[in-house]
Amino acid sequence: MTIRNMLIMALLMSAAGNCAAQGLRISTQIFSRSNAIAEDQVVGSSLTLCHSGRVYDYVATADELVIYDPVGKRCRLLNFARGMVTTVTFDEIRHEMEHQVRRTNAVLTKISSSPGDAATVEHLRFQLQPSFAENFSAADGIMTLTAKHLSYRIRTCPWENADQIEDYLEYRDWAAQLNSVLHPGSLFPESRMAVNESLRKVSRVPVSVELQHHQPPGIRLRAEHRFTKGLTPDDQALIARWEQMQEPGRMRDVPLLKYQQEILVSGNP
């Protein structure tokens, strides 16, 4: 997976938020720009529906749905193009993230003394323990997190319910980690989780997130989120259909490893 696709998936899978009692709808578009292409290009979109304590996060480019179930402490993944469904528990996500950190630390120990690998060592260490220069302007709601490798510029807005903000950001943390588990070799989730922690401090939600990757070719991605309280009848119908698709016999229920292998073969990002 290219750096560009890693960043796109990280933004898409962390776009959703809290499940308000009356329902919540979040539509997201991802725009890309690089030094070679000066104009913004739409490269992805997602639809997130929050209902009855669950988050239903559909990424159109992958034809994939993630159902976040905090009560059951699990995520269900449905890939409609491949006709597959799998389950990942929160404990499994934690275990896999711990394994990735141990494996990366072992690599760092092996290559840290090689001058030729200095840039790789620096980048990996940043991913594991990112450090940003942070600034927030209450006047316009703009937050910036700046570092050598990555920078974020977030346009924020206040939210009426502090508990909903916390639930919103908790899901974003899980989504960032899940993305790293689903796509081995992708960026670690710590930088995105650092953004979420900064949002907690000011008790705001992001309506626009711009991510600048400073390594060539200078990729810049911007996620635009539109929040709407309440669900439409069409939204309710989608949720009902997605729930029905989980019934036995509707899709192949496979282990996570099998799911990952088939997704890689299919060429989905």
Query: For 50-61, what is each residue's pLDDT tens digit?
Result: 898 899 999 988
120 lies in some domain = no
Pick left, alpha or beta for residue 52 (phi over 0 → left; psi -120 to 50 → alpha; otherwise beta).
left
Picking from 215, 163, 191, 145, the residue whose alpha carbon sits closest to that of residue 14 is 191
Angstrom distance (rounded) from CA 94 to CA 98: 6
Residues of the chain with pLDDT under 70: 1-22, 34-38, 216-218, 265-269
Angstrom distance (rounded) from CA 73 to CA 88: 9
Q: Which pLDDT value is given to residue 236?
A: 96
Tokens of 134: 């942070």
The pTM of the whole model exceeds 0.85: no
CA atoms within 13 A on the CB side of 139: 1
119 lies in some domain = no
Range of the domain at 73: 3-109+128-266
186 lies in some domain = yes
115 lies in some domain = no
CA distances from 225 to 46, 79, 85, 156, 196 (A): 9, 23, 27, 10, 15
Q: Which pLDDT value is given to residue 184?
A: 74
Tokens of 139: 């006047």
Q: Which pLDDT value is given to residue 266?
A: 60
Q: Which pLDDT value is given to residue 6?
A: 47
Q: Which pLDDT value is given to residue 123?
A: 87
116 lies in some domain = no
- Output the DSSP codes for 105-170: HHHHHHHTT-GGGHHHHHHHHHHHS---EEEEETTTTEEEEE-SSEEEEEEEEE-S-HHHHHHHHH
What are the two backbone dihedrals, phi and then psi, of residue 160, each rounded to the nearest 5 degrees?
A: -75, -20
192 lies in some domain = yes
Task: Please give the tally of structural domains in the chain.
Answer: 1
Burial 235-246 (b: 16+ CB within 10 A, else e): beebbeebeeee
* Cis preceding linkage at 217, omega within 30: yes
Angstrom distance (rounded) from CA 223 to CA 126: 23
What are the two backbone dihedrals, phi and then psi, of residue 240, each rounded to the nearest 5 degrees?
A: -60, -40
169 lies in some domain = yes
241 lies in some domain = yes
Angstrom distance (rounded) from CA 158 to CA 165: 9
Q: Which pLDDT value is given to residue 162?
A: 76
Neighbours of 93 (CB within 10 A): 20
